[in-house]
Amino acid sequence: MKETDKPQEQFEDMRILDELKNSYLNYAMSVIVSRALPDVRDGLKPSQRRILVAMNDLNLGPRSKHRKCAKIVGDTGGNYHPHGDQATYGTLVRLGQDWNMRYTLVDPQGNFGSIDSDPPAAMRYTEARMAAPATEMLEDLKHDTVDFVPN
């Protein structure tokens, strides 16, 4: 093989600081768009959707008994959302606060905090079940209209 037949490697000179800034900004924007902003189709963030799916798996509809939030958070973390339980519990609490949600998706029982920023009780003392709007959102889940993707 001749020297001229070898593929030529092309490297672009750039400052490492500029590359780090651009790469971090691209990563941060992708995280914000995929996790922190609500989806336009249902208005939910992925963490909120995962909590509702876990509650649906537990059959926690509006006519069922309330279940301990610790159980809901544990099932959510174990099956769908492998992050800290306190972050998941905070999301669950906000789904049940009528001053945070236009339509509450969780029917809370116990101390779920107050509008004056009082914190909620620990998850072992509170209970929840889905509110009617949440069951309407999940009504067609059993028809497998959307494929689940691995987490």
- Catalytic machinery residues: 125
Q: Is the CA virtual torsion 43, 145, 134, 49 positive or negative?
A: negative
Element (H, E) at 108: strand 106-109
Cβ neighbours of residue 48 under 8 Å, at least 6 residues apart? 91, 95, 105
User: Virtual CA dihedral for 91, 97, 100, 102, nearest 10 degrees?
Assistant: 110
In angstroms, the CA 61 to CA 142 distance is 14
Strands 127-130, 67-68: pairing is antiparallel
DSSP state of 100: T
